[in-house]
A and B are shown apart, each in its own frame.
Chain A
Amino acid sequence: MSKNQKHIDKSKLSLLKKVMNILIPEVDDLPSAGLLITDEKILELLYKYNKYFSSFNKFINAIRLDLNCRASGGFESLDYENKEIVLKELEQNIPEIFNNILEMTLLAYYSNNKVLDRINWKRKTLQPEGWELEKFNPKILDKIKLREPFWKEI
């Protein structure tokens, strides 16, 4: 599906960000995920990957149809604990869709520079630098080398 065919309703996007706030709450001086992640980042992922786009629409519909949400005037009107309860139910009832929404949230959150600075993850691209480890030291084999062969001879 092309970008032009993927229509994304602003009210749905706003609701998704409210969900993201519960999935990853604020910490230290960082706001919760829905406040930190930009619309552009979410749209980038939704346009790029059909699995997120199709889960997004199904997920928002499921939230809007949820009885607790409807009884309270929408997800936004619930208190924190009840928002958690609604999301846990959705996680259980529509696990694949929920996991795609969670994965998209984590991708967007943990690619944000402020988050990466906070967790001290400086190596965004693993190549070409890689990492360094000390060379293998055969002394570590001293004990196990004393063991007699124990594979089963046929």
Chain B
Amino acid sequence: MVIQHDPTDILIIGAGASGAAVMWDLSKAGFKVVCLEQGSRIHSDKYPVNYPNWEELALNDWNYNPNIRKNSSDYPINTENTAINPLMFNAVGGSTIHWTAHIPRFHPSDFNVNSIDGIADDWPINYWDLEPYYDKNDEMMGVSGINGDPANPKRSKRQMPPLPLGNDGELIANAFDNLGWHWWPSDANVNSIDYKGRKACNMCGPLGHGCPRQSKASTDITYVPYAIKNGAELRVKARVSKIETNNKGKVTGALYYDKDNNEHFQPANGIVLAMNGIGTPRILLNSSSNKNPNGLSNSSGQVGKNLMFHVYANAQGIFDNIKETYKGPLATIIMSQEFYESDKKRGFYRGYTFQMNRGMGGPIHVSKSIDWGKDHHNEFEKKFGKSLGLGICGDDLPEESNYVELDPILKDSNGIPSPKIHYKVSENSRKLLHHGLKNAELVLKEAGANEIIKSEHDSEAGWHLMGTARMGKDPKSSVVNENCQSHDLENLFIVDGSVFVTGGGVNPTPTIQAIALKTSDYIIKSRTDLKS
């Protein structure tokens, strides 16, 4: 028997980066909001860095890869046919629990790739449309940083001064200076001083597995508590199986399972999907019916198509002139966008960001990156505390041949079909990464590295899940419009990375959150019909 709930104004599916932001904004405006999250609420005393075996936990129960982690909140993903493994975290706060909180913004050019380069498509919105929502999100999440970056448009005053660069960060900054290349301190959602009741970072290092001090912003501590104070209702361990529709072209609510496998139906005036570029197409495809045999909101056939991850390569330098590179946040140090904008002379479209990364945490993580056998101890001695990396985060252009579909066999613990990923690294991406690695080598040499280890393509870098329900003006070639409203169903909205038209060459979370807040603003101002 299906348990029926009282209707709500807005049902949000997913309490991660975008869902939590919408939950806060709509509840503040007086909408009755219910949010369903398949994961649970995690207390900060559970985070690995509280424990001596934190590296063991990071590699297992807290692994970035859900297929390795296999928590009860996770669903299996068929990755037989992908060059990059998708990474995500399912909990209140979503993947902001395990992100490194490095928050570059898209550039204005990222919204006009077709006009500039004659490839992919332009977005139906631009940077300036999103700018006030970037700022609004910055205020809630809290940004450590400094204005004046010549690679980006001016920004509003950052809430906190930049995080310390450390000797290692200064070494790399000077190397960029010597080469005459751009660099700037990373904007970070990590507190350099106390902010909104959350403590300043104490530099413990591995940001990727939760922050017990709450110095790193994750939406379970930035947006969700305020949303709940506003009256929003959050239901955890609630896994949605299907969205229902009526014959008037509207969504009516969602079916979901609770932790005891009881089935529920939550009716709603409107639904906001806020998962990620894999979870959202999965639900839309799982919501097929006689009327929508190819899945919900899929008259364009674009649901699941154009999956983008960002391509990633890494150059690691080994130094004699630095030590203890495990001190300080892993990835929110400095970035360079010298090669961000397209330049035809380079032989590929679009560009990339250099992101400086510190050493890989404790001894176990370092030992995993070196060979076993006779040379193990010498290599460990050379690397431990003396290595740092330059990551190359490359723009990943949309291609229909990269896609998410439902696996015909694989199912999650509730019997809901799982996604299967198809993804190949394009020729353009390979050229881009090659260019990035050559330049990373120059920077590390300039900084004094005596050995450089290059990784051409990182298959465990699928943090950024984008493009599978893209935004556009034309309902024949896109899934949602400029307000993230479904072309097919006027009371269905999508606010996660799946609406991205192109991927940019930067981490997407602040852009996802700005899009989410722009959408909630639209609902507040223009969809009072959804409010009871």
Q: Are B146 and A141 in contact (CB under 8 A)?
A: yes
Given contacts A111-B56, A150-B151, contact A134 B164 (CB under 8 A): yes
What's the A-B contact tally at a CB cutoff of 8 Å? 157
Chain A 114-154 near chain B by CB (<8 Å), digits 1 or 0: 01100101001111111111111110110111011111111
A71 at the interface (CB under 8 A from B): no
Q: Given A51, A129, A153, which contacts B202 in the complex, CB threshold below 8 Å?
A: A129
Known pairs A27-B377, A151-B151; A111 contacts B53 (CB<8 A):
yes
For A137, the chain B residues whose CB sits under 8 A away are 165
Report chain B residues within 8 Å CB of A60: none
* A143 and B177 contacting across the interface, CB-CB below 8 Å: yes
Indicate which residue in A87, A132, A144 contacts B183 across the interface (CB closer than 8 Å). Answer: A144
Complex Cα–Cα for A134 and B162 (A): 12
Choose the segment among B86-94, B106-114, B440-448 that binds chain A (4+ C-beta atoms closer than 8 Å). Answer: B106-114
Q: A122 to nearest B CB, angstroms?
A: 11
Report whether A25 and B363 are in contact in the complex, using a CB–CB cutoff of 8 Å: no
Question: Do B68 and A135 touch (CB < 8 A)?
Answer: no
Given A131-B327, A136-B192, A141-B148: A22 touches B373 (CB 8 Å cut-off)? yes
B363 nearest CB neighbor, chain A only: A110
Residue of A nearest to B361 (CB): A126
Q: How far is the CB of A117 from chain B (nearest CB, A)?
A: 12
Main secondary structure of the interface of A (DSSP, over half): loop
The verdict on B9 contacting chain A, using a C-beta distance below 8 Å, is: no
CB pair B59–A103 under 8 Å, yes or no, is yes
CB of A107 within 8 Å of the partner chain: yes
Contact with A25, one of B47, B55, B150, B376 (Cβ below 8 angstroms)? B376
Contact residues in A for B166 (Cβ distance below 8 Å):
133-134
Contacts of A27 in B (CB 8 A): 377
- Which residues of the partner chain A approach B368 to less than 8 Å between Cβ atoms? 102-103, 106
B68, A51: Cβ atoms under 8 Å? yes
Contacts of A105 in B (CB 8 A): 372
For the complex, what is the distance from the CA of A148 to the CA of B371, rounded to whole Å? 45
B-chain residues with CB within 8 Å of residue A49 when the two chains form the complex: 60
Of the residues A116, A119, A145, A151, contact of B109 by C-beta under 8 Å: A151
Q: Interface size on B (CB < 8 Å)?
A: 68
Per-position 1/0 for B148-163, Cβ under 8 A of A: 1011110000000111
B97-112 interface with A by 8 A CB criterion = 107-109, 111-112
Given contacts A136-B161, A136-B165, A151-B341, contact A144 B192 (CB under 8 A): no
A24: Cβ under 8 A from any B Cβ: yes
> What is the 8 Å Cβ interface bit string for chain A, positions 75-112, against chain B (1 contact, 0 not)?
00000000010010000000000000011011101110
Residue of A nearest to B377 (CB): A27
**CB–CB A131/B341 < 8 A:** no
Binds A, one of B204-212, B221-229, B238-246, B462-470: B204-212
- Contacts of B48-84 to chain A: CB distance below 8 A: 49-56, 59-60, 68
User: When chains A and B are docked, how far (Å) is the Cα of A145 from the Cα of B146?
Assistant: 11
Nearest chain B residue, comparing its CB with the CB of A102: B372
A69 within 8 A of B: no
CA of A84 to CA of B373, assembled, Å = 8
Cα–Cα distance between A138 and B163 once the two chains are bound (Å): 11
Tell whether B139 is near chain A: CB-to-CB under 8 Å: no
> Chain A contacts of B173 at CB under 8 A?
140, 144
Complex interface residues of chain A between 40 and 78 (CB less than 8 A to chain B): 45, 48-49, 51
Q: What residue of chain B has the Cβ atom nearest to residue A45's Cβ?
A: B56
Cβ of B327 and Cβ of A119 under 8 Å apart?
Answer: no
Please provide the chain B residues from 303 to 340 with a CB less than 8 Å away from any CB of chain A in the complex: 324, 327-328, 340
Q: Are A152 and B116 in contact (CB under 8 A)?
A: yes
Report the separation of the CA atoms of residues A126 and B206 in the bound assembly, to the nearest whole angstrom: 9
Beta-carbon contact of A130 and B148 below 8 Å: no
A131 and B205 within 8 A (CB): yes
Known: A125-B52, A145-B148, A152-B341. A24 touches B376 (CB 8 A): yes
From A25, A126, A147, A154, B182 is in contact (CB under 8 Å) with: A147
Interchain nearest-CB distance for B452 vs A (Å): 23
Chain B residue with Cβ nearest A49: B60
Which 8 residue pairs of A and B lie closest in terms of their CB atoms, listed nearest first? A130-B202, A133-B164, A131-B327, A126-B204, A130-B204, A124-B52, A152-B109, A27-B377
Task: State the B residues within 8 Å of A (CB).
Answer: 47, 49-56, 59-60, 68, 107-109, 111-112, 115-116, 126-127, 146, 148, 150-153, 161-166, 170, 173-174, 176-177, 182-185, 192, 201-206, 212-213, 324, 327-328, 340-341, 362-364, 367-368, 372-374, 376-377, 380, 384
